[in-house]
A = this chain, B = another copy of it.
Amino acid sequence: MGLTKTDLFTENQNEIAMLAKAIAHPARVAIIEYLLKVNACICNDIVNELPLAQPTISQHLKELKNAGIIKGNIEGNAICYCINEPVFSKIQGLFQPMQLIQNKCC
């Protein structure tokens, strides 16, 4: 198979999984960290920043964009990527509602 049965889970569970998946690669973590650090929209400095080929980075950027974590604006012949604040905030608070009261064993 290899096909996740999304219809068997709640919308919330699928959303958490989807956002986590977008972050589940060190290159994408690096891209997010870089965009946060430079605090501005960065075009293809990312290609020079990361030790991966340009098509690979373009692919990772696409996945982050699909997840809504970043957004990109066309700026001349370059593209200006930056963090999409609302979604990033949502990620930061993703596990806050989950509270472990107390473990009865282990």
- Residue among B17, B23, B80, B103 making CB contact with A17, cutoff 8 Å: B23
Q: Are B16 and A29 in contact (CB under 8 A)?
A: yes
Report how far A82 CA is from B88 CA in the complex, Å. Answer: 29
With an 8 Å Cβ cutoff, the count of chain A residues facing the other chain is 52
B residues near A40, Cβ cutoff 8 Å: 103-105
Q: Mark A11-38, 1 if CB is under 8 A from B, else 0.
A: 0011011101101111111101100100
Report how far A8 CA is from B26 CA in the complex, Å. Answer: 9
Q: Are A106 and B71 in contact (CB under 8 A)?
A: yes
Chain A positions near chain B (C-beta within 8 angstroms): 4-6, 8-10, 13-14, 16-18, 20-21, 23-30, 32-33, 36, 39-41, 50-52, 71, 73, 75, 80, 82-85, 88, 91-92, 95-96, 98-106
Q: Are A17 and B9 in contact (CB under 8 A)?
A: no
Report how far A15 CA is from B32 CA in the complex, Å. Answer: 14
Q: Are A98 and B92 in contact (CB under 8 A)?
A: yes
Given contacts A13-B30, A13-B33, A24-B21, is CB(A88)–CB(B100) below 8 Å?
Answer: yes
